[in-house]
């Protein structure tokens, strides 16, 4: 015991640390506006659902339904299986996310992220796709060489 009556720390005790787990979408939002990530991670505020958000969700569901019937030719893949809404996690990078679609072929795994946006995919979208690739590599012990951003109009 120490002079103040407390037990001294032993050499086997480790300091506790808590990681801030980020979602892949947080990385995308950070490039767009860091304040969005602050509000999502550090406050209990919940943004109200907007008509645009609902329209995006409805379109996302419709694309998923259509994708189940489509061939893989638009992805330049001959064969493969699709998985939708795949939860992913990387302990190494403290990342989580839900991938819109994963195509698995004998040659590899291909992440697909659906985006409702005008114009081309931005750097923030590519960063989010790269985060999904990192999580896939860790979760499935594979190398992800190619992914797709599916732009919804």
Report pLDDT digits (tens) over 53-73: 888 888 889 999 999 989 999
The pLDDT of residue 49 is above 80? yes
Q: At what angle do helices 24-32 and 34-42 cross, to 10 degrees?
A: 140
Q: What was the pLDDT predicted at 3?
A: 42
Report pLDDT digits (tens) over 67-101: 998 999 999 999 999 999 999 999 999 999 999 99
Query: Residues 121-152, buried b or exposed e (16+ Cβ, 10 A)?
Result: beebbeebbebbbbbbebeeeeebeebbbbee
CA distance 136 to 58: 26
Task: State the DSSP string of 66-81.
Answer: HHTTS-SGGGT-SS-E
Domain boundaries, the chain: 22-152
The top-level CATH class assigned to 22-152 is: alpha beta
pLDDT, mean over the chain: 87
The pLDDT of residue 15 is above 50? no
């Amino acid at each position: 015991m120490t002079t103040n009556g407390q037990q001294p720390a032993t050499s086997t005790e480790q300091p506790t640390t808590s990681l801030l787990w980020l979602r892949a979408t947080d990385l995308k939002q950070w490039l767009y506006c860091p304040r969005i990530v602050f509000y999502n991670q550090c406050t209990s505020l919940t943004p109200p659902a907007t008509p645009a958000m609902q329209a995006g969700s409805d379109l996302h569901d419709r694309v998923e339904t259509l994708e189940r019937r489509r061939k893989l030719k638009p992805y330049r893949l001959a064969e493969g299986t699709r998985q939708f809404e795949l939860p992913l996690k990387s302990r190494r990078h403290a990342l989580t996310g839900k991938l819109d679609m994963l195509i698995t072929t004998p040659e590899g795994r291909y992440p697909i992220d659906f985006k409702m946006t005008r114009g081309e995919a931005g750097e923030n979208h590519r960063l989010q796709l790269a985060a999904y690739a990192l999580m896939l590599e860790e979760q499935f012990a594979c190398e992800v060489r190619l992914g797709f951003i599916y732009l919804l109009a």
